[in-house]
A and B are shown apart, each in its own frame.
Chain A
Amino acid sequence: MSSDVRFTDFKSDKQPTWCPGCGDFGTMNGMMKALANTGNDPDNTFVVAGIGCSGKIGTYMHSYALHGVHGRALPVGIGVKAANPDLEVMVAGGDGDGYSIGAGHFIHAVRRNMDMTYVVMDNRIYGLTKGQFSPTSREDFETSTSPEGTKQSPVNPLALALAAGGTFIAQSFSSDSQRHAEIVQEAIEHDGFGFVNVYSPCVTFNDVDTYDYFRDSLVDVQEEEGYDPDDFDEAKDAILDAETEHQGVIYQDEDSVPYNERIGLTEDMSDIPEGAPEDGMDLVREFY
């Protein structure tokens, strides 16, 4: 890792095809800043992305990266980190990728607590398929596939993470760029699974969960007097608060020990001998 890395080193020469004004621009910039601020460089960073507008991020960033199938980005990231714990693993997804088709993996990645970062660009809509409701859409949200509202409760991703044993649960807003970068940086620095739900408004298909809405409604836990992210009950209250949505590091278990450490992973698994292990015949003799 070099200390003179700038965040633009994480930028590729490919121009994003996101709609002008898309929240994903701010989300990605914050991720790049956080990676640079934590001393990472493109050669030791692995970005995994799923499918959807968010999934395009691997193309616009410069690093080792895999753009996989819909909803399965987290398992890929877990495999990368297991095989080489020296790598900085950053997984990106959207609310569809992470909380709908990938919801099963999300819960298990949270409880597995691998030392990696998961950034979800939550715009409460399916953008790339042109405007269907998502798992985080409001119950009365009208779309092409929910003309009279979704008639289902939206997923509360932070509550899911807390219930699954999350050790770092945060929320940010793509347009509050400095705070967003700080929060992602804390997620990277966390010893364990750093989860950040980022409100990244869709300016084309969502006229409810807009920049103005988030700007007016989000309350930063940092500004609440005496808020202690290490206090589970306080975090639970903030996450289940029906009146107010919060940003900031809402919960962090200071005693978290990541899974890769718990199972003793330290080695770069790419390094193997040119033949069978020297004690290979011992494996055979076990079967006597």
Chain B
Amino acid sequence: MPEDLNWAIGGEAGDGINSTGKIFAQALSRAGRHVFTSKDFASRIRGGYTAYKIRTAVDPVESVVDRLDVLIALTQRTVDENLDELHEGSVIIYDGERTTMQDLEIPEGMIGLDVPLKSLAEDAGGAIMRNIVALGAACEAANFPIENLDEALEKNFGDKGESIVENNKKAARLGQEYVEENFDQDFDYDLETTDSDYVLLNGDEAIGMGALAAGCRFYSGYPITPATNVMEYLTGRIEHYGGAVIQAEDELSAINMALGAARAGARAMTATSGPGIDLMAETFGLIATTETPLVIADVMRSGPSTGMPTKQEQGDLDMVLYGGHGEIPRFVLAPTTVSECFHKTIEAFNYAEKYQTPVYLVSDLSLAVTEQTFPPEEFDMDGVEIERGKVIDAGAVDGWQNDQGQFQPHLPTDDGISPRTFPGTSGGAHMTTGLEHDELGRRTEDTEVRTDQVDKRNRKVETAKREEEWDYREFGDPDADTLVLSWGSNEGAMREAMEFLEEDGVSVRFLSVPYIFPRPDLSEAVETAEEVIVVECNATGQFADVVEHDTLTRVERVNKYNGVRFKADELAEEIKQSLAEGTEVTA
């Protein structure tokens, strides 16, 4: 008997698949079992095929596998869609009284449990509870004590009144008893319970909770799968701390509102997916050049264009690393697990404010829709430190004014970071602009000032590279010949894959990289390994390109960025100098 159970409920969109699946996931979590969920879904409100899948074990589970043990099938298509995952001994629960299910053929070797879900639900008080009857039947098939469902039913139906809760409990028991009385199979599974306390949440919720922990007070966004859940989580909670969520008319507006709130001193963020990042790219450069702290979450989905909105992909790496015209200093963080979505969000706010720079927080659909169990201590609120960087009040502005008493928001400093004043601060009034500007924030095309300001902004990144830790997460055998690298949500699947590989005698060193820019130095790990494999959910290997880039032979660089083209005589001189010095040269 495997240690994990893979369970699913499937039907049409509109059948209550998600809410039913989540009730079972909560019941398992409350019974002290670990849970890792996934969803098959399409971008439609009703119809089609949708499924909520749960993998559960006593030990932590961090990935999905290609195996389905217990399936509640509300439609024939649910069985068809999952034939590859079903196996000998799999249990299929269905309602043979349903006209569309009368001809269901249970594949050979599998156990069909024909349970009159609708009739039993009506006996309990209403046909609407047929999914709950199915949950009761599934409890019996998985040897999971029915009482474990009660708390989850109370949590989900408590606000509808005591009698509704009682009816649902009764419905579950009718399903359980029906299987107990009518089928005499021995089921393979035995869902042991423990005394552990777990919380169950998904990556979008973890980002939202991280934002609240980090003092985020302003969120503006435009609904888009799979990022909407961040906005829905914050709505109704951020207000408790004096903050606000504004649903904007589009992503262009969303990012500009967040920019405005950030200029006014709020910790502000927006979240979107690839199509929204495209629109926001316009304002991204403005945020960076005005040195405004802002967190932008990209919860990736399949592209390009509208792509496959409900499917997984890590295709936006190039966009977040390089997107936008001109050269834009930025940070790119990519949480590797659901709980890391929480921690990296907090870090993102700190980096944004310390370095007065936009931060991309790159998550993906897999993290967004996966509900996963964690001990509550995983989200240690006492450990949260808020670092606001150089913010000065009215008492300190005179140290940063010029001799005409004007505050200088972009004054070049050694570390590239200049103090900022929040509006309302006496003596701190200043403008800033997306045009290249001088230290006062006013437009300039002066070649020297331009160069100074570009250097200042880039120096912040250099400071961050030096001052902060840009670690990878290391797993496996540190001396293995094979090095596997990945970023984002692949960490869980890769860690479990290593167990399978180990069984086949393949030992690997695995580095999961949550910092894309700045990023840890991977060159030594790459150079000492015999084989290097980069794992990512995209077609072209965008992170692989980054790894190859970092380990390429160094070239000399001749650069010019003061707004004037190369002149032939000057260029000849630069090249000669470059050859002579063998170091980086700046025109």
Contacts and interface: CB of A to CB of B under 8 A. Distances in A.
Interface in B205-233: 205, 209, 212-215, 217-218, 220
B282 interface: yes
Given A79-B258, A87-B424, A288-B30, A66 B290 contact: yes
Interface in A215-249: none
A81 B376 CA distance: 36
B259 A79 contact: yes
A212 to B, nearest CB: 33
B257 A76 contact: yes
Interface string A174-215: 000000000000000000000000000000000000000000
B517 interface: no
A43 B218 contact: no
B156 interface: no
Contact of B220 (A42, A62, A79): A79
B403 to A, nearest CB: 12
Nearest to A17: B443
B128 to A, nearest CB: 26
A79 B250 CA distance: 14
Contacts of B427: 43
A284 B260 contact: no
A13 B403 CA distance: 13
B470 interface: no
Contacts of A63: 429, 431
Interface string A48-83: 100000000011001111111100101111111111
B384 A66 contact: no
B384 A275 contact: yes
A78 B258 CA distance: 9
Interface in B260-309: 260-268, 282-283, 286, 290
Interface string B230-262: 000000010101111010111011101111111
B260 A83 contact: yes
Interface stretch (A20-28, A120-128, A133-141, A263-271): A263-271
B422 interface: yes
Contacts of A265: 244
Contacts of B30: 288
B371 to A, nearest CB: 9
A76 B256 contact: yes
Interface string B16-39: 000000000000011000000000
B257 A79 contact: yes
Nearest to A280: B381
B199 A288 contact: yes
Contact of A44 (B217, B237, B381, B424): B424
Contacts, number: 214
A277 B213 contact: yes
Contact of B381 (A48, A77, A284): A284
B257 A82 contact: yes
A128 to B, nearest CB: 12
Interface string A80-92: 1111101100000
Interface string B190-209: 00000001111100010001
B438 to A, nearest CB: 11
B385 interface: yes
Given A43-B425, A284-B199, A284-B376, A263 B244 contact: yes
B433 A66 contact: yes
B423 A79 contact: no
Contacts of B267: 269, 272
A63 to B, nearest CB: 5
A169 to B, nearest CB: 20
Nearest to A42: B429
Residue among B237, B249, B254, B431 with most chain A CB within 10 A = B431
B150 to A, nearest CB: 14
Contacts of A62: 429
13 contacts: A43-B425, A47-B431, A72-B283, A78-B257, A79-B268, A80-B264, A86-B424, A105-B252, A270-B264, A275-B384, A280-B212, A281-B376, A284-B376
Given A43-B426, A66-B259, 4 more contacts: A14-B442, A64-B428, A78-B246, A269-B244
Task: List 5 tightest A-B contacts by C-beta distance, closest first.
Answer: A79-B260, A270-B265, A280-B381, A67-B433, A75-B256
